[in-house]
Amino acid sequence: MKQELLFCPLGGAGEIGANMNLYGYGNPGEHKWIMVDIGVTFADDTLPGIDLIYPDPGFIVDKKDSLLGIVVTHAHEDHIGAIAHLWPMLKCNIYATPFTAVLIQEKFREKHVDITNYLKIVELNGIIDLDPFSIEYVSMTHSILEPNGLRIKTPAGVVLHTGDWKIDENPMVGKNIDVDRLKQIGKEGVLVMVCDSTNIFTVGRSGSEETVRRSLLKIMERLKKRIVMTSFASNVARMETIFYCAEKTGRQISLVGRSMHRIFKAARQCGYLKKIIDPIDPREAKNISREKIVYLCTGSQGEPMGAMMRISNYTHPDVFIEKGDAVIFSSKIIPGNEKKLYKLHNQLVKDGMEVISEENEFVHVSGHPNRDEMKDMYNWIKPKCVIPVHGEHMHLIEHINFAKEMQVPHPVLVENGDIVKIFPGDKPEVYDKAPTGRLYLDGNVSVHEQSQSIKDRKNLSSNGYLEVTLLINSKGNIRDNPILSFRGLPINEEDEFAYELEGEIEKITKSFKIGSRKQEHNLIDALKIACRKFTKEKIGKKPYTNINLVNI
């Protein structure tokens, strides 16, 4: 029986975010597995009360005794955000480089879980042996410290898992992309490259952090009042740039927002950000004149609880802005966030602030490769097969077309759950499907996307709530008028609505006498149907309806 090399994305293929990839090797039905990354994506307004979404790991939970470890490429939330929520289902070792490991540790600390015995720190460019896998960390550049590609060596051949990457020849903080090693890996031979697809539609090159630094310095030199800057907290190179520009323009700098402090502390702990001025507490910054301070804040995507939103709403306890100040959004406007960000920008402009963003100044570069960088990677690696990931369906299909242009013999299009047999066979191909799905973080509980709590909340948010309480005496007769309560219904004349609804309820109840559990259920069902029908006819809503029968 010939051993197999398999690849299966449970998240991140057909979407940007929620990355979770599996590699398996062994005899059919007896594979050993590794998981690469375990990330989240963020919910939108269609899921009230939900913040985080992550892949359902059920397929690999069923095989957890064969799971050798979780191998993490870097510390962005879409690669590590689910780890503290899902690890208890897996209970395996976690492998990460020092900066990523610090942030993982903090996630577990927040949940009061001691992960020390399971978290294995890998030095940069280190190798871990998880027989039958030998995994080499290869330094890349991206918009966070210590991004890594993975050279995954198996008895069947080598896979290069790029992770998130770009080619930045001067990333300002951290290691340069290891071009020499990537070229050597290509010469040694690569069966499959599993590759980032985010910027496949964008021509040219993504640009360097060094050029952003020069541009931000020019912008800050001309600004004469208070500067409030917001960026992705995880971008330590951008953070250092803003410290550098503050010092060069004679300003103090203050960090605002929990994530900004957390990343700053983690970077310092790992030996980065050593040659910068010290930040000052926002409470102390109140005493510094407007032209001598810059605030670096969280909330670059208009997050409701981000520091930037609270500052713009004048509800932040320590940071105040006024007419003539400048607000710089040194970040990308992530698709889907345009509406709330434009609303935020407009409010700031209306209040007399100057708003600077990627739309009117050069203040940001992407952390992902544009097409010319992709060409470089293809020319270095020369893979026999490419599997595009980290992209929506249109990105993946365009990446397949690009791979064909680059003369790759066997590009393979996948979506979440597809199981690709890389070896044996004439060419890699999708040959099976793993069960997939999504889990939502509802409060601090993981629930399935089809859970009743999610359905109920969607219904409540769209249609409101109606509650009817009926009093039943010892003889099973319904007494007095029903007690009505409603929330979120567009009712102008509440007394009239309640009077007419009571009439509808009376039509149902007058023929009922409660003597058994079955009769109770029949009455509840009949009342729910009648109340929802009446409310739909009156106001166009079918509210979430609850019927209480109370024995007195």
CA–CA separation, 390 vs 32, rounded Å?
24
**Number of domain units in the chain:** 3
Task: Compute φ and ψ for 102, nearest 5 degrees.
Answer: -60, -45
Range of the domain at 474: 464-551
Residue-level pLDDT at 550: 86
Q: Are residues 19 and 166 in the same domain?
A: yes
pLDDT tens digits along 258-302:
999 999 999 999 999 999 999 999 999 999 999 999 999 999 999
Beta-carbon contacts of residue 519 (< 8 Å; ≥ 6 apart):
512, 513
455 occurs within a structural domain: no
pLDDT of residue 335 exceeding 90: no
DSSP 165: -
Q: Are residues 19 and 73 in the same domain?
A: yes
Please, how many CA atoms are within 13 Å of residue 241, restricted to the half-sphere of its CB?
31
For residues 443-461, give the mean pLDDT: 88
CATH code, domain carrying 539: 3.10.20.580
pLDDT tens digits along 165-177:
999 999 999 999 9
**What confidence category does residue 14 fall into, taking pLDDT thresholds of 50, 70 and 90?**
very high
CA–CA separation, 136 vs 128, rounded Å?
7
User: How many residues are present in the chain?
Assistant: 552
Residue-level pLDDT at 516: 76
Q: Are residues 116 and 35 in the same domain?
A: yes
CA–CA separation, 522 vs 514, rounded Å?
10
Please, how many CA atoms are within 13 Å of residue 341, restricted to the half-sphere of its CB?
21
Q: What is the residue-averaged pLDDT of the chain? A: 94
Q: Are residues 69 and 168 in the same domain?
A: yes
Instruction: Burial-class residue 494 by CB neighbours within 10 Å (0-12, 13-18, 19+).
Output: exposed
454 occurs within a structural domain: no
**What confidence category does residue 345 fall into, taking pLDDT thresholds of 50, 70 and 90?**
very high
Residue-level pLDDT at 51: 84
Residue-level pLDDT at 520: 84
458 occurs within a structural domain: no
Beta-carbon contacts of residue 108 (< 8 Å; ≥ 6 apart):
83, 84, 87, 114, 115
The residue among 298, 331, 356 that closes a domain is: 356
For residues 58-68, give the mean pLDDT: 97
**What confidence category does residue 1 fall into, taking pLDDT thresholds of 50, 70 and 90?**
low
Q: Are residues 100 and 198 in the same domain?
A: yes
Q: Are residues 46 and 189 in the same domain?
A: yes
Q: Are residues 443 and 472 in the same domain?
A: no
Tokens 């690849």 sit at which residue?
7
Residue-level pLDDT at 474: 75
pLDDT of residue 512 exceeding 80: no
H helices present in 360-493, as ranges: 371-381, 393-405, 452-463
Residue-level pLDDT at 317: 94
User: Computed from CA positions of residues 500, 501, 503, 504, in that sequence, does the dihedral angle turn out positive or negative?
Assistant: positive
Q: Are residues 29 and 177 in the same domain?
A: yes
Which uninterrupted H or E stretch holds 192?
strand 192-196
Residue-level pLDDT at 208: 97
CB 428 within 8 A of CB 387: yes
pLDDT tens digits along 125-184:
999 999 999 999 999 999 999 999 999 999 999 999 999 999 999 999 999 999 999 999
459 occurs within a structural domain: no
CA–CA separation, 105 vs 95, rounded Å?
12
CA-wise closest residue to 256 among 303, 208, 332, 310: 310
The residue among 336, 356, 376 that closes a domain is: 356
120 occurs within a structural domain: yes
Q: Are residues 120 and 55 in the same domain?
A: yes
Q: Are residues 390 and 282 in the same domain?
A: no
70 occurs within a structural domain: yes
Coarse DSSP helix, strand, coil percentages of the chain, rounded to the nearest 5 percent? 35, 25, 40
* One-letter amino acid for residue 383 of the chain: P
264 occurs within a structural domain: yes
Residue-level pLDDT at 112: 95
Q: Are residues 214 and 81 in the same domain?
A: no
Residue-level pLDDT at 288: 95
Q: Are residues 436 and 474 in the same domain?
A: no
CB count in 10 Å sphere of residue 135: 25
CB 229 within 8 A of CB 220: no
Residue 386 vs residues 177, 378, 453: alpha-carbon distances, Å: 20, 9, 40
CATH code, domain carrying 327: 3.40.50.10710
pLDDT of residue 511 exceeding 80: no
Give the range among 187-196, 236-245, 437-446 with minimum mean pLDDT. 437-446
438 occurs within a structural domain: yes
Straight-line distance from the first to the last Cα atom of the chain, in angstroms, rounded to the nearest whole number: 72
More confident residue, 164 or 44: 164
CA–CA separation, 328 vs 356, rounded Å?
5
The residue among 448, 473, 492 that closes a domain is: 448
Q: pTM, whole model, 2 decimals?
A: 0.92
pLDDT tens digits along 467-508:
999 888 877 777 778 899 999 999 988 889 999 999 889 888
CA–CA separation, 92 vs 63, rounded Å?
12
